Amino acid sequence: MNACDRRIQKELIDLKKNPIPGIHASPKSDSDLHEWEATIEGPADSPYEGGTFCIDISFPPSFPFRPPKVRFRTKIYHCNITRSGIICLDILKGQWSPVLTLNKLLLSILALLTDPNPSDPLVPEVANLLRSDKASHDANAREWTARYAKK
């Protein structure tokens, strides 16, 4: 087993020992530790409450020195997440560090749902609506959650 596989195995053990409420993540199959899927429950008191969002996680052979590739499979109305599921999160780009764990990454994604960053958007029109009319933004996000996020 190489260093990447050992680290992914350690992440799996850590997730089982220290589960995050509202988040579940595991390999898609027993034969490939590099391809995972996760679900995140929409946080309470957010426009995503009541929805469950599916996420794909792909660990590169250079993990943990390079971040995993993470994308939402469930459509979500969010200024930092594109229609194709790409996420704008600093630790998935230049701020990644090998000391970061999958638990910390998933918690950061969860935090993004309650605290979007409209000053660094991937979807400018959603960010503009969030800044100018939060009630309409939240109504759109609730509608998308009801339509696309499995319950």
Catalytic annotation, residues: 88
Angstrom distances, CA of residue 60 to CA of 71, 92, 110 = 14, 13, 22
Rounded CA-CA distance 81/121 in Å is: 8
- The type of residue at 116 is P
- Token pair recorded at residue 116: 């979007």
CB 47 within 8 A of CB 84: no
